[in-house]
Amino acid sequence: MKDMNINTTIPVLGPARIPSPLISQGLACDGKTRFMKDEYRISVDVRVDRVAGAKADEILSFEQAGPREKIYFDPSKLKCAVVTCGGLCPGLNDILRSLVLELYHVYGVKTIYGIRHGLQGFIHKFGHELIELNPQRVSGIQNTGGSMLGSSRGGQDIGEIVDCLERIGVGLLFMVGGDGTLMASKSIGDEILNRGLKISVVGIPKTIDNDIFLVSRSFGFDSAVDVATLAIKGAHNEAEAYPNGIGLIKLMGRYSGFLAATAALAQPDANFVLIPEEQILLHGENGLLAAIERRLALRKHAVIIVAEGAGQNFFEDKDIEHDASGNVKLKDIGLFLKSEISDYFKSKDIPISLKYIDPSYIIRSLPANANDSVFCGLLARDAVHAGMAGKTNLLISFWNNNYVHVPMDASAGRRKKMDPSGRLWQSVLESTGQNSLFNGC
């Protein structure tokens, strides 16, 4: 990370001169303050050997998140808005609830708009009405899945979005979403700066895939692992119950295999784990199909986990399509493998019992588990602290066990991937014993 060309400076709308409403709560019993200062920094690279001997101003670091003693916005005059975009994810309602409670009760902001159905909600032609958010409106929503605001995919005109913000008088906008949303957030923030407006834009990263750059953990991931382990248990039970039983589970992970790898370690019943970061060898002595055959001969059952973005090399480039957000529409590797495995054993006249499980839409639409719910609350509160201080064009990240401010410029448009030589993936290889599928041994 040290050599990366990253600017970690957080833009601000102007000087923060208003005493924070949190001042009355600002001192702990030992006299220490709870307030953060912009000088408090978290090193980007945790490796000591990479920062040892470097001067403080030479060490790449992030601004630490948390409440500031002085804020920029006058809470009695401020209007806020929040929007959720992209795919559903456990924890969206927890984020919304915590944002509203923090703004309303802690800072005294009484006007909070919920933007319906993602970026469409800013555009007049879609006809989505604003929702007035308050503590009563968000009461209990953390117990339900999805997003009370709804969502949508697809880009909208950035100018029209900023026009809407101006028209309704919003001074602070919270955008909750994945990589596409962060790209849109950056564009909105840039347009706001170009117009010379005093509107803060704060992003809260959301992705079950856990693949947002400079974000070590995203909300919803822990919940997804919980549900994924249930699918693995079910696949294993099905496979064991029948002669030559095979359980095939497809999990989320367009470009990164974090969910597949973590779930495989949490529920170590899988014999093969396939991820986007490693190319799959299908045929031949060291290929997946032959490996499954050897596994069945030895143990009479097998369990396979495949991330949705794995094995895309098996499909023709000419068939590439894009969704409304501009993302490449992945080919269904799960159904492809189901067909290939069935055909392989049929050609060898070996009877199998193959069960295919795709729990994706169940995972993403469920409520958050306890760990994610707590995590969402912490992210949301720090998003409010940052926005009220007048900081803008940033996202709230969890990095090196601290909550930090990451400039959107540094993260948007980049993607985090699992290191095939790192501890997580090497642990999966040790757990499954599948090394030969990738190194040709």
Query: Which residues are the active-site residues?
Result: 209
Pull the structure tokens for residue 285: 């002595």
| Whether the Cβ atoms of residue 317 and residue 344 lie closer than 8 Å to each other | no
φ, ψ of residue 336 in degrees (nearest 5): -60, -45
Distance CA 200, CA 99 (A): 15
Q: What residues contact residue 47 under an 8 Å CB cut-off, 6+ apart?
A: none
Phi-psi region of 329 (alpha: psi -120 to 50; beta: other; left: phi over 0): beta
Yes or no: say if 411 and 212 are a contact pair by the CB < 8 Å rule: yes
